[in-house]
Structures are given as structure tokens and as C-alpha cells.
Structure 1
Amino acid sequence: MTQIFDEDIRAEFSRNYPEIPHRLRHNLRDHPLLTLEALAKLGESLPAASIEYNKGDLPTGVDPNSDIANGLSIGDTIRHVDTCRSWAVLKNIEQVPEYRALLLDLLGELKPFIEAKTGAMLMPQGFIFVSSPEAVTPYHFDPEHNILLQLKGSKTMTQFPAGDPVYAPDETHEGYHTGGHRNLVWRDELAKGATDWSLQPGVAVFVPVMAPHHVKVGPEPSISLSITWRSDWSYAEADARAFNSILRKSGMHPRAPGRYPAQNTAKAYAWRVIRKLKGTG
């Protein structure tokens, strides 16, 4: 496969990873696995737990309990994405051998720079987003290190500082890491802290772990590929958040885990012991 990230882009990634969001150029164009028909067939082949799709004409903030179904099948949603006013994501594409190979090829170009900073590249996963014109992905965060590559159409990712409780309160982090939803509560006053990343085909953006963001698609249908991975650091941060939820329920006011390069070892270990005693880990 043609090299997707040029040498200067890999150097830029190395300078900024893992905490500084930045734009990257990429050379992933017109791949046969990433056409609308190929993606429709992929969506139809994946288990139900690996697909999510709904109306795309949504506000920035959405109640996780609201009904946002679009009334179509995943295949029809993707095939008619230009008119159905919807948003779809195909999760864990690495379940399919051809897509796993594509994902590992892409991450393989960055792996030496990743592992030099955060250790072993763990849990490589891929997510493909297919969106109608003007579709909105509501305000949320994700636990992975993430690069979002724009393939077709355009979108704007509006991103906020990771780890800042103004944009995602500690209690929300703790709830997410103990089984809660990833969607965040939006308030218009948060907009002053935003950085907008404009994405067109051939452009990507790096998203640090748990950096809040929302996305708005441009005037044409959009296809994006998210390549993600975890690290020992990201798992320790997540487990420390979960342990803090126990402390908070006990009436304490725990300090938030440190961002990279803090290791958060003690709280992470304590949570893993509790989980093991409960038989859930």
C-alpha cells in the first residue's frame, strides 16, 4: 500500500503526541474498501453491537435517553446517505480481516513514534463514519488515542481541552468509566474554549484521550475513518477515574488523575484489585 503519512507528517505527529491536537495530511484516497457500497455491505455484515446510526439533524447536546432513530436499516442509511439526513458509525472494523489489515498498515506507520512515548500500542481499533450533509455528532469524549482521517466531503471537528473539568466534569468522567454514557452536557458558554479543525479529503486531526468534541458535516455527504489505540497510560487514567468514583460515593473529593506523563498507578491498581475481588476483571 502507498505510504499514507509522509515523513514530515510522521515527524510532526511525533512532536505532538500524545497530548497536543494537531492537523495531519494523509494519502488515503479512493480505497476500494471505503466506497459507499463496500461500507454498506460491511455494515450489513457486522453484529448489531458494532453499528450505530441515527438522525443526523441533531443539536450539539443530546440526552442519551432520547429517541434519535432514523427508521432505516444500516445498509439503506449508508446507500442513501446523500438524502436520508442521518449519521452512521461502523465500529471495530478490525473484526473483518481486510479492514484489520488496512488499520494495522495505517497504524504501523506511526507505531514507532507511539511506543516511544506511551509504550506498547494496545487495542488497535477502527471506526468508519458515514454522514449526510450537515449531520451533527453531538458533544462527547472517547477513551482512545485517535486520528480522524477525512476521506470524502468535509466536516468541522470542534475540540476542547482534554482533562479540563470546565468542559467535562470529573463526575462525568467517573460515571463514564463505571458504565455511563460518553455524551456530555452542552452549554453555549463552553464555545469560547473551542478549537475548530476543518477537515477535507486528505486531511486528518489527532484527538487526545478524552478530549471533548462535537462534529458538523459540510454541504456534501462525508466519509471519515477513525484509527484508534490504547496505551498503559490511557488505561491507568481510566481506572483511576473509576476508583475516584468510589471515593466520591464515600463522601470524599478526590483529585483528578494527572494527564500524561503522570502514571496514576496507585489508584489504577486499587481499582483493578476491587474489580478482581468483584469478579468483573
Structure 2
Amino acid sequence: MSSVEAVASPCPLDAAIGPDDTGGHRIDIDDPAGFSTRRLCPIRHGYHQHPMMQTQRLAELARSLMKTRQCRFILPGTTDASKFDHRSRPQDGRGIDEVFERIEEPGSWLALYNVQTDPRYRALIWDILGSAGAVLRGSERPGEARGFIFISAPPSVTPFHIDRENNFWLQIRGRKTLNVWDHTDRVTVAARDVEDFIVTRSLENVRLTDALRPRAHVLECGPGDGAYFPSTSPHMTRSEPAWVTPGDGVSISFGVVFYTPLTRRHAYAHAANRMLRRVGIEARMPGECDWLDRAKQPLGMIGMATRRLRGLPVPSGF
């Protein structure tokens, strides 16, 4: 998701994260007391019934986002193990209206990136986060949020990758299999590869192999299902045609992603670790020791400031 950068939606000033006005749509967590932003948690939600999540409204949104290159199209022949490569124009030259007219054709795939740039969807994103209630407090309170909507017709995949934000992933329509690996699984994605992604946006060495598949948590999701998973959790999705019936052949999912004070602290710790490794110091991963992450933050801030002075890009999340 994070390969396309845009201004994130800042937390509304003095907004209370709580279920005060959800309009009947909300995130439900079975055990709120046991919820942690540091681990995977299946959820239920009611946003599959929200008017702004219906196909007609999404087509309208896509028309506006095409103008700013926020619609993304996957390359033909992509598998779950492929490099996550997508373009801002369909490879076959179709316009966005034709894309939606033919959206139920097998293998169709369209993503709407950074939908928070539309004020209506920015408000929806904060409604969703607000409905999660008291589980998002203190260092786990969202500071910025973004939204990514994936629309596809099976057989379709979103390849294996990691993101820099925490993610409330909501299945809106159709069915999809979500595979998520623990964000602490260094067999699946090595520490240096996580650092490369956080600091430079590189996914070059983040690759799925058959040996990694059994390590995943597998969630079969239909409308109203979903999951929360932390920043840098490897994940991928697949939708197979077995559930398709005439007039019901599109799968839609919505990733509501956000940064917190904790994700920012960890990002700076990754930047510090990268600097320490260059002088031969093998540093501990962020999240293993809170006081050490805090101590690394000034060094990480110096590292990212140095990147800016050198004219190198600084990704979001810092």
C-alpha cells in the first residue's frame, strides 16, 4: 500500500476516539480488553452495508482519483509470490468507466489509493477508527490515517508484501482469503529487509516462498469479516471463483491504515538500527525493548534528517 505516497489524514483536533456516532456501522472486537495493536486480531464490522462502500459510489470515487493517479492496476499474470508491481493506467488502455463496466470479468483488479484525499472518505476513515473505541488510546491512538480500497474479480490476488502502517482490514463484498504472518517473524522477512522497507521503501527482498506458506495465519473472509494486524506484518490475499454467482462476482476490501506514536518510535528505531549496522553493531529489533527504542529515537531522527539534507526521499511514517 505504502508505495504510493500522499498526504495522510491527520487526526481531527481534539477528536475522541470512541463509538459516539457510528451511524449503525462499527468495528466489533470480541475481547476489547485483550486487544493489542501489536498482534493479529480477527474482527467483525458493519461497513459492508455503508452507502459509500457500494460499487456505484466507488466508481464515482475512482473517476476522481484517476485524475490524480491514485487508481492502481496490477500487471497481468501476477501471482501471490510476484513482486507487488502496479501501474497508474490499465495495461490494455481502458478508461475507468470501461474498467467498471467489465469489473466482473475474471482476473479484473483495481485499487484506489489514499482515498482520504476525498473529504467524504476521510470522514469515513475516522468514523471507522472511532468505532474501534477505547482499544486505540495513548501510544496506540491514531495520529494519521489513510485508506486503500481493493476491487477485483476472482481469480485474483494481491501479492505478498508488508506495509508501514497498522491496518484494520475490512472485507466489504464477495469473499477473499487473507494470509497474515506475525510481524515479528524474522524467518518470513529478515530484520534488514524490514529496515530497508521502513527507511527506503524497498521491497526488493520481501518475497514469498513455498516454505513460508505454513507459517501464515489464514482467515476466510466474507462481507462483515476482517482483521487487525500491526505495521510490517507480511500479508497477501487471494479470491477464488467458487463463491461467484451471476451478479455477484466482485470482491471488495478496505484497508484502513494508521500511524501512532508507537509506529513512529519504531520507525526511528529502524532508522537508528540501519546506522548501527553500518558500523558493525547488530541492534535489537524495534518492539523488543521499549526503553531502548526510546533511546534510539534521537539517532534515528538524525539519520532521517541526514537523508533529507542529501536530497534522498523520506518515506511516510516518520
Are residues 251 and 65 of structure 1, via their aligned partners in 2, closer, same or farther at CA, if it must alter by over 3 Å?
Answer: farther
**Other-structure match for 1:189:** 211
Query: Which of 158, 171, 174 is the equivalent residue of 1:137?
Result: 158
Unaligned runs of 5+ in 1: none
Correspondence 1:247 to 2:267: no
Moved more, 40-49 or 197-206: 40-49
> How far apart, CA to CA, are the structure 1 residues paired with 2:289 and 2:155?
35
* C-alpha distance in 2 between matches for 1:149 and 1:263: 34
Deviates more, 1:88-97 or 1:178-187: 178-187
User: How far is the alpha carbon of 1:267 from its aligned partner?
Assistant: 2.0
Partner of 1:63: 83
Aligned to 1:83: 105
Q: CA deviation at 1:213?
A: 0.9
Distance 2:306 2:161 in 1: 31
**Residue pair 1:56, 1:132 contacting (<8 A) in 2 also:** no
After TM superposition, give the deviation of residue 201 of structure 1 in Å: 0.5
Query: Does residue 272 of structure 2 align to residue 238 of structure 1?
Result: no
For the pair 1:175 / 2:196, whether they are aligned, the reply is yes
Contact persistence 2:162–2:234 (CA under 8 A): yes
Residues 31-78 of structure 1 show CA distances to partners (whole Å, capped at 9, x for unaligned) of: 332222321221221254532221465222223579896423444334
- Per the alignment, residue 149 of structure 1 pairs with 170
For residues 170-203 of structure 1, what are the alpha-carbon distances to aligned partners after superposition, in whole Å with 9 as ceiling and x for unaligned? 1111111222334721111111211101110011
When the two structures are aligned, how many residues end up with a matched partner?
278
- AA at the equivalent of 1:152: R
Task: Give yes or no for the alignment of 1:210 onto 2:235.
Answer: no
Aligned to 1:54: 74
What's the counterpart of residue 12 of structure 1?
A: 31
RMSD (Å) for aligned C-alpha atoms: 2.6
Q: What residue number does 1:227 align with?
A: 256
Distance 1:185 1:126 in 2: 24
Cα distance in 1, alignment partners of residues 176 and 197 from structure 2: 26
- Partner of 2:149 in structure 1? 128
Q: Tell whether 2:32 aligns with 1:3.
A: no
Q: How does 1:249-268 map to 2 (within 5 A)?
A: 249-259=278-288, 264-268=293-297
Identity %: 24
1:217 maps to a residue whose letter is S
Please identify, of 173-182 and 249-258, the stretch whose mean Cα deviation from structure 2 is larger: 249-258
Question: Which residue identity lines up with residue 88 of structure 1 in the other structure?
Answer: L
CA distance 1:29–1:119, shift in 2 (3 Å): closer
| Shift >6 Å, 4+ stretches | 65-68
Asked if the contact 2:177/2:237 (under 8 Å) is kept, the reply is yes
Moved more, 193-202 or 62-71: 62-71
